[in-house]
Amino acid sequence: MENMGEWEQRSLINELTQGRELARQLQVYLNVPSSSHETRELLVQKIQASFEKALSMLNCNTSLAVDQPQPSGLAIRMSESPPSRSASPRSEDSDRDFKEQELKFDASKKRKTLPRWTQQVRVTPGTALEGPLDDGFSWRKYGQKDILGAKYPRGYYRCTHRNVQGCLATKQVQRSDDDPTIFDITYRGRHTCNLASHVMPPSVLSENQEQGTSIDPQQHNQQEEQTQKQSQDLLLSFRRGLKVITQDLHIREQTYPSFPNYPSSTRSNIKVENNVVFSPSVMNNNNVVGNLSPSLISPATSGSNYCSVSPSPSGMSSTHMQGNVNFPTFVPQPAEIIQASTSATNLPTVGLDFPFGNAEFDPNFTFDNHGFFS
């Protein structure tokens, strides 16, 4: 834990402070009759966002910042889930899927599969974009398959830099049967490539850049990976302001030290609605994440991310930059993130759960941000 860099700590403090400040402001506004409802609403949102961010930092260490233009609505619901079946709201297929997962889980010894979790992403109708989701990484499609019982084929993607950096992350994208605007995205494995935080300001980059690819994929401890990953995705999603519904966070891993408290409480559909609107000020700690990828268009792929780590400054390899390097402005759609996963729900209680889940720190969790955002 010494690893928790000073930077993280500061960010955290910063975030909390920010939240406090916002709350204070809210209080003020509450006493000012003339203040608009909207303003207050906005403050509330900010506060929520602030907390979420702080929590995510704690839980996930990911210091990825969530930065989002101004989505109008996010709903997050999370829980972790051993796919107890009955997970997805709408398709029974997913149900089937979960079953499979479950089975595999039990049969554990067989194949060590990479951690895997699913999220549903909905592209807001009305906006013509049909495609999904660009979650911040650059993916390359390597296959497509018709799935039994599913109307739409499932697309298989792997990290573009797989060969170069040995990043084993893959994802599967499948459009929901009944609601074409929803895509189930199952991620597997964590990105070991430099998740590049995209194109970020050189200044920031320079700081950690040395790390480059040095991260040995195999070395990571899984737990960490998952956590990290999860947060990565989430955050990314946030940033893009898409509607994301994470349905199942099931992760199975062989070596799973323990995930002690994944609060099972979750199942109580907790939805945290937050329309997160980050003000620049709030965001400052994470410039790292500064940009969103604009694209979110192709249904399954949008290559918009950069995992690359080109050591060489000039190195951005020609290609993947699909033109999005400008971050701002892109304001996708209102997003809604719902993480659901059914889990061992037993809890009677409605625990409070935050989007980022477990308020638990993994014992072994270390901030390995180094390579992470470099």
Partner DNA sequence: CGAATTTGACCAAT
Partner DNA sequence: ATTGGTCAAATTCG
The separation between the first and the last C-alpha atoms of the chain, rounded to the nearest angstrom, is 19
Among candidate residues 181, 174, 178, the one with its CA nearest the CA of residue 91: 178
Query: Does the protein bind DNA through residue 325 (CB under 7 A)?
Result: no
CB of 137 to DNA, least distance (A): 12
Name the residue type at position 315.
Answer: G
CB of 100 to DNA, least distance (A): 7
Which of 6, 38, 107, 346 touches DNA by CB under 7 A?
A: 107
Nearest distance from residue 120's CB to DNA, in Å? 16
37 vs 110, beta carbon nearer DNA: 110
Q: Which of residues 126-145 bind DNA (CB under 7 A)?
A: 139-145
Site for DNA in 162-201 (CB under 7 A): 170, 172, 188
Q: Of these, 16, 44, 147, 359, which contacts DNA (CB under 7 A)?
A: 147
Taking residue 178's Cβ as centre, other Cβ atoms within 10 Å add up to 13
146 lies in the binding site for DNA (CB under 7 A): yes
Q: Please report how close the Cβ of residue 84 comes to DNA at its closest, in angstroms.
A: 18
Beta strands in 137-242, from DSSP E residues, in sequence order: 139-145, 154-159, 170-175, 182-188
Q: How far is CA 301 from CA 80, 134, 305, 320, in A?
A: 26, 7, 10, 12
Please give the DSSP secondary-structure letter assigned to residue 154.
E
Of 353, 355, 337, 366, nearest in space to 261 by CA: 353
- Decide: is 239 part of the binding site for DNA (CB under 7 A): no
Which range touches DNA (CB under 7 A), out of 39-47, 124-132, 154-162, 266-274?
154-162
Indicate whether 85 belongs to the interface with DNA (CB under 7 A).
no
Cβ distance to DNA smaller for residue 54 or 199: 199
The region of 8-16, 103-111, 117-125, 212-220 touching DNA under the rule CB under 7 A is 103-111
Q: Does 158 bind DNA (CB under 7 A)?
A: yes
Among 154, 217, 297, 347, binds DNA (CB under 7 A): 154
Binding residue for DNA (CB under 7 A) from 126, 148, 219, 312? 148
- Return the structure tokens found at 318: 């020609």
Whether 60 contacts 366, CB under 8 Å: no
Instruction: Collect contacts of 127-130 with beta carbons under 8 A, ≥24 apart.
Output: 127/332, 127/333, 129/296, 129/297, 129/332, 129/333, 130/180, 130/181, 130/297, 130/299
Give residues in contact with DNA (CB under 7 A). Answer: 103-104, 107, 110-111, 139-149, 154-156, 158, 160, 170, 172, 188, 298, 301, 303, 318-320
